[in-house]
Structure 1
């Protein structure tokens, strides 16, 4: 099976003619493959000289056509120019055709236009990041953090941040803040380069052609009526779904990172979209970061040795941080047998210190103490600065995107609100914060093998699920909220019991 390569200058009529013929044959014949290699005039001479030296050829004009057998990268067999290519095509495929000169000129012109468009698009490789509700968090810090993620700019890709906040048209201070942010970052770009930050007057325009959509809007209830507020949230998600279906890419990464009932919002958005958006997630890991500090103070374990705890539940409705099932890295002394008989003061090595992962459960007597400590610290911080803390949220966004755009899919397990697939008996389709892992197709999926050792943890997860199902069901988002749940949960509890529910407590008694 031959593989043809056609090299030439974009505005060369003979090159355009050869490409036209090869394209025609590739459409008609299943085993005809070709690729074209285009070089601008100032690159052509150098390229041709290197090609002749490599293959001991003596070609001197465009196009140069050769074939390789069986696969690309094999031995090159020179065919020649356009006339030799036509002779080859006639002998092997019986194709003959006469194309008038004016048609050849048109082909060359079209090919040149296509080449110019391709070069322009390659020169400006852009990844668009839409930030909705950009006035809620400190967007300048967020943009700076994202610019430091090298994998987002891999392959010479430029980041463009598209800011929008629905308050900007009614609150002058919000507009001024966004405008100052744009002026600051755009002033640092090179002369003649495109803007790094752009302001938009509508959410639909901001989301158009965006690869990442960060929703930072505040969805906290502004009045006491929870039902009315949730209905308003549903309406807002239906409006957002309309904008997404019109403007957004189907593979866009949609990240809810604001405040309020975010898992409910993500579920409502998913239900409202008539087409599937597989990359909708809710930032939840930030809820667990303060618990690491509090647990370190309570147990004396250094912070860098403690993993982020899993956040369970529907954010903004009912959730909790499972600090007892967080892992920490422990140093364990393992003595040698000779240590039993070695004389006092022996200089021989009597053992080795190794590291292992352990659960925090046996170190924490009462998780409620840590929860109250985090609550008090959070309240003190908010009273001191007059707003909610931002940096846990910003850190969680940055870590998520680092993992999502990593060169290789890792084995990290993080807390994230994702669409349930039935794991942990969360109803399918409901967005629920749980341990997740990145699949090979780079979609976040629940990590169903995460160990649940403690009865109290399973009980609280069940309460979160029941509460979320009740809220979602009453608002018409989930169907059959009570269908077979208790029986399924009992079966799941039995399964966990069979694999050793109390092993962790027995191990360290």
Structure 2
């Protein structure tokens, strides 16, 4: 019995021609059987290369290899993509072919679509056997406690996908992690295969399909400079990136969350995890987006779910702009009614422009100082929402803000993580490049990128100190002076919130910020700038530190209110 084996590229028209011939022979010859193997075009060359490497064939483009492939089969083994074969035949023997026909092209396209559908079905079947491996770093954080039920409910990854959750943190928090494991087991979620604790870095991110980084920079006994903080972040990301590169699956999805150096941490993870596709690493900006929507909803006396398309531009944990120029309002209770798809421009609904430029921008800039008052519900919700969009697509037509690696969109410099509007579709995301921005917005984006470029250069050792952007009102920053002014004892500090830093005053002068000195942002854009109210974040790990942290936070906010009556 003759059984030819015919592998080839799924979209190859020459493979389609051979396929037609093989089908004809199989119908008319009772002892003729054929087994077809197709490879995705993106994987074909690597697959052929692996075959040659496995058999010790160094010159895969040589006719000797093609003859060797035929001879090794012994029983009519035919191996090779037909378009590659014709390319080699033309190169070595001058043979050309114009056999391309509409039928061949149509069959090639159908083969590719069929191959993609088969791959999806195989991945789905594997997911029923092998649970999705989800790793959460700094798992003692309150956000992790609230995130686990959302991930295990089935709404994020699908009702047919089981998951295993791995909690990663230092040995100091082992008891807290074990308590989380016991509570998660008590919930008895059908899709939660297991929950485990990990305190050894060598085992981190093993076979990870999803990695959620909740880490923020930690201070031990002394307060470093801003550049020292950046270097400390870089060292941490170097360790994490190397471990992901070594242990995680090649298709792992990485979400960088938190409130310190979010953009920079995502960039450094990408730098040190070379095997991970940069499109699989994102920085969370939805927390700012959701908080802005909630505040606007309170102003309009409506549900925050009815506000869509608020855009966060720039540095998520530093200088960022909240763009309301595309924002829409749905289901607003007014004299004008319409179907669920009916919307109105948000800026047309808010008549108090002074509130938008003053109170709205000021409150958003204090989000980091407010974050420790909550128990991580909002950060957990936005992380789960982004993951659900990533795996199941975002709502059609809806804009989502996300920090991604810039490739020059909106004239931003390449090679930095920058928050911009995206949409999730077909298991990936794409930048909504059709979003129109005016000249004022474009000018705003220029100096939003400045700090990110400076942070990158410090992290990579290209410069030792960050240089200010001279065209802005923010001249320089002095973190040590800021913390000394707040009189915060170093021994009580653990978490430092980046992005809320004081302009450095010239010698002998005192900085005074007034409404007249602050440059108003462009129309439709709100600047979430660095204000002096937030100084230091105190994490909540248990009941004792929770009350202490809240008391310190209330004192800090009270001082801020006294400074700014």
Please indicate, yes or no, whether the TM-score normalized by the shorter chain is above 0.5.
yes
CA contact (8 A) 2:401 2:422 kept: yes
Secondary structure of the 1:473 match is helix
CA contact (8 A) 2:266 2:281 kept: yes
Q: What is the aligned counterpart of 1:402 among 385, 388, 397? A: 388
Quick one: distance in 1 between partners of 2:237 and 2:211?
Answer: 14
Q: Which has the higher strand share?
A: 1
Report deviation, 1:276: 4.2
Secondary structure of the 1:207 match is coil
Q: What is the aligned counterpart of 1:219 among 217, 222, 229? A: 217
Residue 157 of structure 1 corresponds to which residue in structure 2?
Answer: 161
Unaligned runs of 5+ in 1: 1-17, 32-68, 80-84, 98-117, 335-350, 487-500, 505-509
Report deviation, 1:358: 1.3
Report deviation, 1:242: 1.3
Report deviation, 1:194: 8.7
Q: What is the aligned counterpart of 2:199 among 180, 186, 201? A: 201
CA contact (8 A) 2:312 2:420 kept: yes
CA contact (8 A) 2:259 2:368 kept: no
Cα gap change, 1:210 to 1:307, in 2 (>3 Å): same
CA contact (8 A) 1:219 1:258 kept: no
Cα gap change, 1:139 to 1:421, in 2 (>3 Å): same
Quick one: distance in 2 between partners of 1:374 and 1:196?
Answer: 38
CA contact (8 A) 1:262 1:315 kept: yes
1:258 maps to 2:258? yes
After superposition, the CA RMSD in angstroms is: 4.5
Secondary structure of the 1:150 match is coil
1:230 maps to 2:224? no
Quick one: distance in 2 between partners of 1:478 and 1:412?
Answer: 39
Residue 462 of structure 1 corresponds to which residue in structure 2?
Answer: 446
Report deviation, 1:392: 1.9
Q: What is the aligned counterpart of 1:370 among 357, 360, 369? A: 360
Secondary structure of the 2:353 match is coil
Residue 430 of structure 1 corresponds to which residue in structure 2?
Answer: 416
Report deviation, 1:299: 4.0
Quick one: distance in 2 between partners of 1:89 and 1:325?
Answer: 60
Cα gap change, 1:405 to 1:477, in 2 (>3 Å): farther
Report deviation, 1:125: 2.9
Quick one: distance in 2 between partners of 1:288 and 1:194?
Answer: 30
Secondary structure of the 1:405 match is helix
Q: Note the 1:91-490 alignment, pairs <5 A.
A: 124-150=129-155, 152-154=157-159, 156-165=160-169, 167=170, 169=171, 171=172, 174-187=173-186, 189=188, 195-219=193-217, 223-278=223-278, 279-300=280-301, 302-307=303-308, 309-323=310-324, 325-329=326-330, 355-360=342-347, 363=350, 364-366=352-354, 367=356, 368-374=358-364, 379=369, 387=373, 390-406=376-392, 410-438=396-424, 440=426, 442-453=427-438, 455=440, 457-476=441-460
Quick one: distance in 1 between partners of 2:266 and 2:367?
Answer: 29
CA contact (8 A) 1:330 1:358 kept: no
Structure number with bigger Rg:
1
Cα gap change, 1:126 to 1:423, in 2 (>3 Å): same
CA contact (8 A) 2:302 2:333 kept: no
Point out which structure has higher relative CO (alpha carbons under 8 A, 6+ apart): 2
Secondary structure of the 1:274 match is coil
Secondary structure of the 1:157 match is coil
Report deviation, 1:127: 0.8
CA contact (8 A) 1:189 1:195 kept: no
Report deviation, 1:197: 0.6
Quick one: distance in 2 between partners of 1:312 and 1:260?
Answer: 16
CA contact (8 A) 1:136 1:218 kept: no
Quick one: distance in 2 between partners of 1:30 and 1:454?
Answer: 47
Quick one: distance in 1 between partners of 2:365 and 2:328?
Answer: 22
CA contact (8 A) 2:217 2:232 kept: no
Quick one: distance in 1 between partners of 2:295 and 2:33?
Answer: 76
Report deviation, 1:134: 0.8
CA contact (8 A) 2:410 2:433 kept: yes
Report deviation, 1:415: 0.6
Report deviation, 1:352: 8.3
Report deviation, 1:431: 0.5
Report deviation, 1:146: 1.2
Quick one: distance in 2 between partners of 1:72 and 1:206?
Answer: 49
Secondary structure of the 1:264 match is helix
Cα gap change, 1:292 to 1:206, in 2 (>3 Å): same
Report deviation, 1:89: 6.2
Q: How many residues align?
A: 368
Report deviation, 1:427: 1.1
CA contact (8 A) 2:162 2:192 kept: no
Cα gap change, 1:210 to 1:28, in 2 (>3 Å): closer
Cα gap change, 1:28 to 1:291, in 2 (>3 Å): closer
CA contact (8 A) 2:146 2:376 kept: no
Residue 55 of structure 1 corresponds to which residue in structure 2?
Answer: none
Secondary structure of the 2:381 match is helix
**CA displacement, residues 340-377 of structure 1 (integer Å, 9 cap, x when unaligned):** xxxxxxxxxxx985733314267240322212344568
Q: TM-score, normalised by structure 1?
A: 0.61
Cα gap change, 1:304 to 1:189, in 2 (>3 Å): closer
Quick one: distance in 2 between partners of 1:397 and 1:190?
Answer: 19
Cα gap change, 1:401 to 1:234, in 2 (>3 Å): same
Q: TM-score, normalised by structure 2?
A: 0.55
Cα gap change, 1:260 to 1:439, in 2 (>3 Å): same
More off after superposition, 392-401 vs 460-469? 460-469
Cα gap change, 1:77 to 1:421, in 2 (>3 Å): same
